[in-house]
């Protein structure tokens, strides 16, 4: 018989507060058209994107995270000292170690909170939320801060017609804490590594260490390009529309509800066409509010779901207590979907 005592966590977990940060610079499609042969009409018809936010020198991954996290902590009605763990999902923090989560935890004023980064692309928020729920229920932390943050403008090839218009910067955060009733459903998550080539970094960092520049991509001026995100657009679109709609339905089934029970749908903000296709495939009723924050924020990867959630609540399009389906999907290919009660 085991001598280990049972954990003393909460019976359930819930999202208690949400916060977001969007960089001050707003970039319209006209700026993107300076480096690619396209049109505003083409960009809008393909993606729905009209503007995006790009971070300035002072709007670092850490700085944006701290702003968003501070709002989430205040919204949750707790103090930073009560945060027991900080989970940061990002692919655009370029220092391999230490984790940016440790800097964020310190500057927020937590009391030696556990802190670590995860890399799960556009599904990163769902992964972090699942980890946070487990910590609260298991009892290793009473309150967990989950942050999705990206500076994807640093990983954008402005000469790549297929992706130059897609990406934006920002940070979104939530506080997960104890609940007396179920408020975060079972997570349906997974990966399809056989499709990893469909979304990837153009060049690995070690190519620069080796010093052989013969195979490195060059820009129109003959300069070596910084590594960027590239994707096979049509393959990603088909996968997202057909396979992720199935995952979203599985998350509804796991939570024991139907589409009719939903109040809000917050998918990863990749593309309006993908979002609209998923709405149609899932046969969501007209009363369901659908997040389309991508129009003015662009694709912010791990930050997109909490940023969209924060905006819906701020504008009154969604309200506290609403039942929402959230699903993230992206590079890997990875995905995560769950049903939550909005804070």
Which residues participate in catalysis according to the annotation? 122, 268, 299
Alpha carbon 74 to its chain centroid, in Å, reads 21
Residue labelled with tokens 């130059």: 164
Interatomic CA distance for residues 342 and 324, integer angstroms:
7
Tokens describing residue 120? 């799960």
Contacts of 321 (CB under 8 A, 6+ apart): 341, 342
- Provide CB contacts within 8 A for 111, sequence distance 6+: 81, 82, 83
Q: Is there a contact between 83 and 113 (Cβ–Cβ < 8 Å)?
A: yes
Surface-to-core class of residue 34, CB atoms within 10 Å of its CB (0-12 exposed, 13-18 middle, 19+ buried): exposed
Strand ranges of the sheet holding 289-290, from the earlier edge strand across to the other edge: 188-191, 334-341, 323-330, 264-267, 289-290
Q: How far apart are CA 194 and CA 123, in angstroms?
A: 17
Which phi and psi (to 5°) does residue 110 adopt?
Answer: -70, 160
| DSSP per residue, 229-256 | EEE-HHHHHHIIIIIHHHHHHHHHHHHT
Contact of 309 with 125, CB cutoff 8 Å: no
């Amino acid at each position: 018989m085991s001598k280990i005592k049972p954990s003393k966590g909460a019976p359930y977990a819930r999202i208690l507060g949400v916060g977001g940060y969007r960089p001050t610079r707003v970039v319209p499609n006209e700026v993107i058209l300076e480096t690619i042969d396209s049109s505003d009409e083409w960009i809008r018809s393909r993606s729905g994107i009209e503007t995006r936010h790009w971070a300035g020198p002072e709007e670092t991954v850490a700085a944006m995270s701290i702003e968003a996290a501070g709002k989430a902590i205040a919204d949750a009605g707790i103090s930073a000292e009560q945060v027991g763990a900080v989970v940061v999902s990002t692919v655009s923090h370029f220092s391999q170690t230490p984790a940016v989560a440790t800097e964020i935890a310190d500057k927020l004023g937590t009391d030696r909170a556990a802190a670590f980064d995860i890399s799960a692309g556009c599904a990163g928020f769902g992964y972090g939320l699942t980890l946070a729920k487990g910590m609260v229920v298991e009892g290793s932390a009473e309150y967990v801060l989950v942050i999705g943050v990206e500076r994807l403008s640093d990983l954008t090839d402005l000469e790549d017609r297929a992706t130059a218009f897609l990406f934006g910067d920002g940070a979104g955060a939530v506080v997960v804490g104890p609940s007396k009733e179920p408020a975060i459903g079972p997570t349906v998550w997974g990966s399809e590594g056989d499709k990893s080539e469909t979304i990837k970094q153009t060049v690995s960092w070690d190519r620069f260490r080796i010093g052989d520049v013969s195979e490195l991509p060059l820009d129109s001026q003959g300069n070596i390009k910084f590594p960027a995100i590239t994707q096979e657009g049509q393959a990603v679109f088909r996968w997202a529309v057909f396979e992720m709609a199935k995952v979203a339905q599985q998350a509804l089934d796991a939570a024991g509800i139907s589409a009719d029970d939903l109040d809000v749908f917050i998918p990863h903000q990749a593309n309006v066409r993908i979002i609209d296709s998923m709405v149609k495939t899932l046969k969501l009723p007209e009363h369901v509010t659908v997040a389309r924050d991508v129009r003015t924020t662009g694709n912010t990867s791990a930050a997109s779901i909490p940023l969209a959630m924060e905006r819906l609540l701020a504008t009154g399009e969604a309200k506290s207590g609403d039942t929402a389906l959230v699903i993230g999907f992206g590079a890997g290919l990875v995905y995560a979907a769950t049903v939550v009660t909005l804070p």
